[in-house]
Amino acid sequence: MNTADLGLPVDVPSTALFTDQYELTMLQAALKGGTAGRRSVFEVFTRRLPDGRRYGVVAGTGRVLDAVENFRFDAGVLGFLRERGIVDAETLDWLADYRFTGDIWGYPEGEVYFPGSPILRVEGSFAECVLLETVILSILNHDSAIAAAASRMSAAAGDRPLIEMGARRTHELSAVAAARAAYVGGFASTSDLAAGFRYNIPTVGTSAHAFTLLHDRERDAFQAQVDSMGRGTTLLVDTYDVTEAVRTAVEIAGPELGAVRIDSGDLLLVAHRVRQQLDELGARDTKIIVTSDLDEYAIASLAAAPVDAYGVGTQLVTGSGHPTSSMVYKLVARAETADPRSPLKAVAKKSTGGKTSVGGRKWAARRLDSYGVAEAEVVGTGAVPTELADRQLLVELVKGGEVVGREPLDAARDRHAAVRANLPLSATQLSRGEPVLPTEYV
């Protein structure tokens, strides 16, 4: 059980087959060739940010730690590999005892990143590190894409809370991961109960249009909901006529009505009219929640509207047009022999088409200007300059195969808010632009 330290009663199954077949065939060939034991360093990074994005957000780190801990080849998994003839008997014997015994360093969850940032560094033998490529990338690429979209939306929303409600717009397991990543990126709650159960994220929800349509009259639906959930509930007011629904809602719940939700129409116009009507009816404390295919641009356009909270679904769980972060997992250094004393040699892919990489085991630091605002992402392979020694970004996550960097999800969420606030003001602009910080190699 991976989340025991946080008191969350959820088991995570084996992640051994969350991988591509060529990871295992490379392992088999390396075992036969005598290179499997060579000390190696793999790094996760992206060559570019999605078009128009100013920064990326690291999310999924906690899920990566769970995946590494549960990367085990049990009898059923080994039987599948044997029956399919995917690897030979020698490799199956090696896999039966697989445990990651290396070290992992990385940007802490909630941190921001830029092109070339060494987001995660995995060190150990080639054999044990290469197997983790696919599962690590699948988690970080998905979760970081969702968190980046969530961060843009939360920046646009300002102090108004955001509700994640995209479970019905994606795979059921992706929905849980998306809710977690959205929370890191600044969302306040989720409608997905599995996410609440697994990660202790606050959950919310009241009713849909179906509940209103179930009743002969809208008044009957509102009365039933208030009787069940109290006057502080949120009533959905756009099934028929919004003006009439708001009037009925206040008549039934009184000025103690918690909120009304608007899910269609010209949200800017309707929100202003509903606010005026609520105030005239004496329900000045009743909040207005808007939903309906919102993204960061729609949220920004409602900044001047009397809206108290936003519910976001489809655009969030699809990364607001960028459902992946294009991260890669590359070998950047390896020893020439299996001798643990053998020095590391930098290696890098050299190819056309922009798919080159920079070799060497890297560190990263963020340089600040005279005002204490971030001005550059500095990445190097040699000694860390003295002036950057206390600005290093990578933290230890796994040491000798043991997880040492697990933390509560709220820590990642708070970190992201603090880090984003320390970026140049242009970071949160929604207009297209280059990464807000340049990446400098030293």
Inform me whether the pLDDT recorded for 7 exceeds 60.
no
pTM for this predicted structure: 0.94
Confidence band, pLDDT 50/70/90 cuts, at residue 349: confident
pLDDT in tens, 269-318: 999 999 999 999 999 999 999 999 999 999 999 999 999 999 999 999 99
Inform me whether the pLDDT recorded for 42 exceeds 60.
yes
pLDDT in tens, 124-168: 999 999 999 999 999 999 999 999 999 999 999 999 999 999 999
In the chain, what percentage of residues exceed pLDDT 70? Answer: 97
Of residues 3 and 350, more confidence is placed in 350
Q: Please tell me the predicted confidence (pLDDT) of residue 3.
A: 47
> Hey, is 123 helix, strand or coil?
strand
Inform me whether the pLDDT recorded for 69 exceeds 60.
yes
Inform me whether the pLDDT recorded for 415 exceeds 50.
yes
Of residues 349 and 426, more confidence is placed in 426
Q: Please tell me the predicted confidence (pLDDT) of residue 355.
A: 77
Confidence band, pLDDT 50/70/90 cuts, at residue 11: low
Q: Please tell me the predicted confidence (pLDDT) of residue 351.
A: 74
First to last CA, the chain: 41
| Mean pLDDT of the 202-212 span | 97
Of residues 341 and 375, more confidence is placed in 375
Q: What is the mean pLDDT of the chain?
A: 95
Q: Which two tokens stand for residue 139?
A: 């988690």
Instruction: Of 254, 252, 262, 260, give the one whose Cα is nearest residue 227.
Output: 252
Inform me whether the pLDDT recorded for 13 exceeds 80.
no
How many residues would you count in the chain? Answer: 442
Question: Do residues 441 and 376 lie in contact, with contact meaning Cβ atoms separated by under 8 Å?
Answer: no
Rounded Cα distance between 16 and 194, Å, is: 23
Q: How many Cβ atoms from other residues are within 10 Å of residue 7's Cβ?
A: 8
Inform me whether the pLDDT recorded for 98 exceeds 90.
yes
Confidence band, pLDDT 50/70/90 cuts, at residue 12: low
SS (H, E, C) 48-74: CCCCCCCCEECCCHHHHHHHHHCCCCC
Element (H, E) at 221: helix 218-229
| Mean pLDDT of the 322-329 span | 97
Q: Please tell me the predicted confidence (pLDDT) of residue 340.
A: 87
Inform me whether the pLDDT recorded for 2 exceeds 80.
no
pLDDT in tens, 308-321: 999 999 999 999 99
Rounded Cα distance between 201 and 410, Å, is: 9
Inform me whether the pLDDT recorded for 401 exceeds 80.
yes
